[in-house]
Amino acid sequence: MRMRLPAMATAVIVIVLGGWWAEAQWASHRKLASLGNLDPRGSYEIRLDFAPERFHQLRLQEAGRLVEVRERTVFMMDVEPAALRAIAGEYWVEAVSRWNRS
């Protein structure tokens, strides 16, 4: 009886984390659907909802080589598919498209 509150709190945490994870998977799938097959080490434009801060740049640098930041868009090279899926799952990433470096 006394341990009902900890059990309920744990259940809430598990549900929130599960929901968060499921939403990230769905968001990643939705944002990358138009790209088709992903290159083993591709170049991409990552568009955010806002101008990226240091936090976002560091997070993106973990996924590949950050080449340039132009207003709300971050240009990246050498991004592996798994890393791109993880980045696309972030809710602060608005859209992902291929970067044709010509």
Partner 1 sequence: MTNAVALPALAPPRLASRRVTRVLKGAAGVLLLLAAWQISVPLVGLGSYFYPSPSDVAAAFVDLMRKGILPVYFADSMLRYVAGLSAGAVLGVAVGVLIGLHRGIAVTLSPLLKFLFAIVEVAWIPIFVVWFGYGIKTIILALVYVVFFPVLYNTLVGVRTAPQILVNALRSLGANRWQVLRYAIVPSALPGIITGLRVGAGFAFRGLVFAEIIAAKTGIGYLIFEGTQTQQTARTIVGMIVMGLTWLAIDLCYLRPLERATIERWGLTVDAEQRT
Least CB distance from residue 101 to partner 1, whole Å?
A: 27
Comparing CB distances to partner 1, the nearer of 59 and 98 is: 59
What is the rounded distance in angstroms from the CA atom of residue 91 to the CA atom of residue 28? 9
Q: How far is the CB of 53 from partner 1 (least distance, A)?
A: 7
Mapped onto helix, strand or coil, the DSSP state of residue 76 is strand
CB of 40 to partner 1, least distance (A): 27
Smaller CB separation from partner 1, 3 or 101: 3
Residues near partner 1, by CB under 8 A: 2-3, 5-6, 8-9, 49-50, 53, 55-56, 58-59, 90-92
Work out the number of other CB atoms within 10 angstroms of the CB of residue 54: 7
Quote the tokens at residue 10: 């744990």
Residues 6 or more apart whose CB falls under 8 angstroms from that of 38 comprise 32, 81, 84
Q: Nearest approach, Cβ of 62 to partner 1 (angstroms)?
A: 12
Distance of CA 46 to the CA centre of its chain: 9
